[in-house]
Structure 1
Amino acid sequence: MERLVTIKTFTYPHEAYILQTKLEDEGIPTFLKDEKTVQVYNFYSNAIGGVKLQVWEKDTQR
């Protein structure tokens, strides 16, 4: 079973959107874990480890 892998973390979602867009333009599906939590409660960002940009494990080598 394939799993999601965190490839980079960011303090705020808008920082992650830049790399997310670049990867998706290359055809790599991405997911942002904890994006909504940090948007609503931005002071939780450090406590929960920020916004995690994730891809499928098979896409980490691309």
Structure 2
Amino acid sequence: MAKEKNKQLFEVLESETIEECLERMKKAGYMPIRRIEKPIFKEVKKGNETIYEPVGRQIVFEGKNE
């Protein structure tokens, strides 16, 4: 007997909104239980210094099988 996956991660894609991602989760049979946001940085060199500037964020939802 195969065991069903209980949790899965769903990343909000560049071409979709948060609502569209949540709808995709619902269609797959998952309910969101946690939201994870990670900053995305760009490395910028100014002279001898390296500076990391934020350029965006990655949003991931953890879903639990309903």
TM over 0.5: no
Find the structure with the greater CA-based Rg. Answer: 2
Larger strand proportion of the pair:
2
Normalised-by-shorter TM-score class: 0.3 to 0.5
The structure with higher relative contact order (CA 8 Å, sep 6+) is 1
Larger helix proportion of the pair:
1
TM-score w.r.t. the length of structure 1 is 0.36
